[in-house]
Amino acid sequence: MKVLKLSIQTFFIIVPIFVFSQIDKNNNQQKIDTTNFYYIIKGDSIPREFIDLEEVILLSKLQFTSKEDRRRYLILRRKTRKVYPYAKLASERLFIMSERLKTIKRKIDKKKYTKRVQKYIEEEFSDKLKKFTRTEGQILAKLIYRQTGRTSFDLVKELRTSWRAFWYNTSASLFDISLKEEYNPFKNKEDYLIEDILERSFQENILERQEPAFPINFFELQLFWNKKNLHH
């Protein structure tokens, strides 16, 4: 038995094992040549016949009814790519805080830790968020819901007092931003376009993928809007 090792993209080693069986033709039997391929993943010593591959979503070609539609999509793409990292970062910070709070027993210590995190988040985000446009702020509010499963209003209410959350939402409304808005790509066309932009950006390695707080089947989402567009 011979073992050949070939490197493929530095990730896999293909180990073909050749087994030959010679049988008499007079007995209506024939020569059999079977080749079994085994893969050794880098960092693993166990050969495998099959490799689990990540699911790849095939994206349909973008089609626009007008130049104006295309222009709006490109503007939405630029804004979505700009604000998504902040929604992702907010989700990561909140997760770390939640996990840390589980290990703190005393209520007074939890309060101190929460205040410290609040101050850190405000210092980290406030100056950057002030530079966002009205539409960028609204997209960010939607994406925060996508990544955390909670509206920005609820998060502010949780981190601060309800009174501050009320005024925060009121002042945001003056700029046409609703912190209570949720993210629903099956109901809202703009949310679907944002999800389309995210999926394309993930596949192109422009943005780093972070799974949403709730399941979104992009294949079903595409079919839904494609069918809906056909009836219009």
CB under 8 A, 24+ apart: contacts of 66-74 = 73/193
Alpha helix ranges (H) inside 103-215: 107-129, 134-148, 152-159, 162-174, 189-203
Distances (CA, A) of 22 to 1, 58, 169: 15, 45, 80
Question: Is the whole-model pTM more than 0.85?
Answer: no
> Which of the 8 DSSP states describes residue 26?
G
Residue-by-residue pLDDT tens, the chain, 232 positions: 444 443 434 333 334 433 334 444 455 555 555 566 655 666 666 666 655 555 566 777 888 889 999 999 999 999 999 999 999 988 898 888 888 888 998 989 988 887 787 777 777 777 777 788 889 989 999 999 999 999 888 887 776 655 565 556 655 665 677 888 899 999 999 999 999 999 999 999 999 999 999 999 999 999 999 888 776 6
